[in-house]
Amino acid sequence: MFRALVVEDQNLMRLALMDQIRASLGNCVVLGAETLEIAARELRSAEFDLVVIDPGLPGFDPTLDAD
């Protein structure tokens, strides 16, 4: 089954994105994470086909290289 993770600190935006993904993809699992720490825990515990991350999330720097 298709699995998606939405990482967004604003509750209404996170819920709206999750609803949009569900509406677009139909039968799927969509989880939300309010912080990078929660997202990291989810990513360690399961595989996801799609991860949507707010580039303005506190503590997130999209210009850094991943190690």
Quick one: pLDDT at residue 66? 60
How much of the chain, in percent, has pLDDT values that exceed 90? 81
Span 5-19, pLDDT tens digits: 999 999 999 999 999
Topology (CATH) of 2-53: Rossmann fold (3.40.50)
Mean pLDDT of 42-63: 89
Q: Is the pLDDT of residue 63 over 80?
A: no
* Mean of all residue pLDDT scores within the chain: 92
Domain-wise residue ranges, the chain: 2-53
How much of the chain, in percent, has pLDDT values that exceed 70? 91
Q: How many CB atoms lie within 10 A of CB 26?
A: 7
Beta pairing class for 28-33 and 2-7: parallel
